[in-house]
Amino acid sequence: MTKEELVEKIAGEAGISKKEGAAALKATLEGISGALSSGDGLTLVGFGTFSVSQRSARTGRNPQTGATIQIAASKGVKFKAGKALKDAVN
């Protein structure tokens, strides 16, 4: 499913225009991004949980040259599906 198809689905289900559906999707994604960028987690009961994880700095290897390189510490996003979503998929 593409973003455009999702906007059409939102608009159809909510009985609103595609423009309003796109605005609703944009606001939702910005809200999720905002919560995660501030370091907070986000739980949508029945859907799942978004959280921020820390990756520590580590030593890696360049596969072409075999040279050792330092990989900087970074943050990543994790998603854990909720029970209702798991049941819907299975």
Distance between CA atoms of residues 50 and 6, nearest Å: 20
Q: Which domains does the chain have, with CATH numbers?
A: 1-38 (no CATH), 41-90 (4.10.520.10)
Distance between CA atoms of residues 55 and 79, nearest Å: 15
- Reduced to 3 states (helix: H, G, I; strand: E, B; else coil), residue 56 is coil
% of the chain exceeding 90 in pLDDT: 97
| Confidence tier at 88 by pLDDT (50, 70, 90) | very high
Are 75 and 54 contacting, i.e. CB atoms less than 8 angstroms apart?
yes
Are 46 and 82 contacting, i.e. CB atoms less than 8 angstroms apart?
yes
Q: What is the average per-residue pLDDT within 80-87? A: 94
Q: What is the average per-residue pLDDT within 63-77? A: 94
Q: Reply yes or no on whether the pLDDT at 39 is more than 90.
A: no
Distance between CA atoms of residues 6 and 29, nearest Å: 13
